[in-house]
Amino acid sequence: MKFRNKELWEYFFDKPKKHYNIYMYEMPKYPNHLIFDDEEILNAKGMWNETYFKNNNELHLEIGSGSANFTNNKALQNPDINFLGVELRLKRLVQAARKAEKNELKNLIFLKKRVSSLQEFIGANELSGLYINFPDPWENEEHKRIFGPKLLNDLDVVLKSGSKIYFKTDHLNYYLDILELIKNNENYEVVYNTDDLYNSEKAIDNIKTEFEHLFLSKHNMNIKYIEIVKK
């Protein structure tokens, strides 16, 4: 199978393999809900609504969408908001796209993309909401965290003023570090935070991620939650 004069494997691997991830062959089956061509993703910068969603609705993004229980439900609940879910793992991307297709969602697209910089594929002031759910806390290697000063520098450009960042974690130090990070940044403000999401007023609207379901079934630990607004 070829796309743009490339073999399918070339979109996922640097060299041919004897055995490929079986989900690689599933990726092209969901053209309305899944983009795995990095060039196509980069070319969409600043034009996601115009090119793919065909409307002027708000654009929201989830980093690390997994198999997308969260993003699919957000899209179902908010048909007037466009959603992008970014994920690297092929199995999770296929599972996510299947859900979106089953739900006939026209406001949700998943991208196979490593997020080194949001400015690679999101234009200036193109984003109206960002969700970061249970990112790796990288204990003792905090510089590798997805949410840190570098992300805020990107959001200075791509996130519209007045828009929100939504952050969930099971990791206390990560939670406290984000509160401190925002406290020391004049462009952002914490408008809500709790170290016990399920015993807060936000619990009723919470959509659980797959990790959240699994985590809560095995551990008795509070989920931490922060809402941040860009000034």
The answer to the question of whether 136 is labelled as a binding residue is yes
Among 152, 129, 9, 2, smallest CA distance to 74 is for 129
* Residue 154 appears among annotated catalytic residues: no
CA–CA dist 214, 210 (Å, integer) = 6
Q: Which residue has the tokens 């092929």?
A: 90
87 DSSP β-pair partners: 112
The answer to the question of whether 121 is labelled as a binding residue is no
Neighbours of 166 (CB within 10 A): 18
The answer to the question of whether 51 is labelled as a binding residue is no
The answer to the question of whether 212 is labelled as a binding residue is yes
Token code pair at residue 186: 């004049």
CA–CA dist 68, 85 (Å, integer) = 8
37, 136, 154, 156: which is the annotated catalytic residue? 136
The answer to whether residues 93 and 117 touch, using CB atoms and an 8 Å cutoff, is no
The answer to the question of whether 209 is labelled as a binding residue is yes
The answer to the question of whether 80 is labelled as a binding residue is no
Angle CA 219–223–229, to nearest 5: 160
List strand residue ranges (DSSP E) for 113-207, in order: 127-133, 159-169, 188-194
The answer to the question of whether 156 is labelled as a binding residue is no
Mind telling me the catalytic residues? 136
Binding residues: 62, 87, 136, 170, 209-212
Binding residues for S-adenosyl-L-methionine: 62, 87, 136
